[in-house]
Structure 1
Amino acid sequence: MNLHNPQSIDPVCLTKLDTSMAIHQLTYRNVTYHFCSAHCQERFSEAAVFFSAPQRIDELHPIPKHHRLRVASVPEAIREVAGICLSEVRGVSNVLIGDGYADIDYDLRLVSLNQLEAAMKDAGLPLKGWLHGLRRSLWSFVEHNELENLASQPSPCCSRPPIRVR
């Protein structure tokens, strides 16, 4: 560790960073946060309240999610490539793409449904719209609220009443 360069921790993936070398940074509520990648910076921007809330690093746990997304029929070669691309997205733990669907398991701390939708589009896997689009919007809304609710919970060290001494 270089003593002349201050260290920081990426609030999304908890990677230790040298602030002088960090390319990705963002100021939120007069605090500058440093990120290891554009992915983590985008994730922070989507749920800044959650990632900026006081939390103990040793008590952060994954927030597992699973969704079956409806996709348009595409050739198997495209499904295979899309599966590989989605597997490489930070926070995705499992991907299964079949004819007309994509089952995805992921950690909500590390990736959002919006980021997954963008990755699917980039990989050439078009999502079905209309009713399923409304369902995805609802899932995104619920996930965002879940993170905000987790951010508003008191820290474990402060949630106990003080001990009275007589």
Structure 2
Amino acid sequence: MKKSNIGYLIIAFLLVWVLVQFFFLPAICSATEPVYQITEMELTELEQNSNRQLAISSQLAAELQIAKERLKVSDQELTEAKLQKELLQKQLTEQEALSKNQENLQKEILKSLPPSAAGVLREVGLKIDVDRYVTGASYGVSRRIGENYIGLRGEYDWQDKKAGVWLTYAY
């Protein structure tokens, strides 16, 4: 065969191949997938839905940011509260120790002091006559005011059948 016949054969083959592609390829592609066309109303509705979802998404993002900031502030406050609790616990321990020391010191001081006079004095007395022995009785109560005592004493003489009340002062 000659070179010119081979060239014609190649051209003829390519021409047949292009014609087959031109006529049968669109039919094969369109037969496998149905085409759906969106109406203008559906497109508008999709756009509105998309815009709403974008608005909701941005609102949620803003709320998430606020929540993150609040969580950060809350964590900082919690850390500060823990530090303050530790400080107060330390101060409480120190104050308890100081209080215990003062209590012990007060006990030692009280032990070293001489006994002091009572706050209230009570007295019972008998009236004695040289010839007749006991002729009456008395009872008194005195309260300490500063370093002195002020009180009342009542007495009864059963021989004379007389009663008496006395105001007392002791220093």
**Fold match, TM over 0.5?**
no
Q: Which structure has the higher relative contact order (CA within 8 Å, separation 6+)?
A: 1
TM-score of Structure 1 vs Structure 2, range by shorter chain: under 0.3
Rg (Cα) greater in structure: 2
Structure with more helix by fraction: 2
Name the TM-score, length of structure 1 as normaliser: 0.16
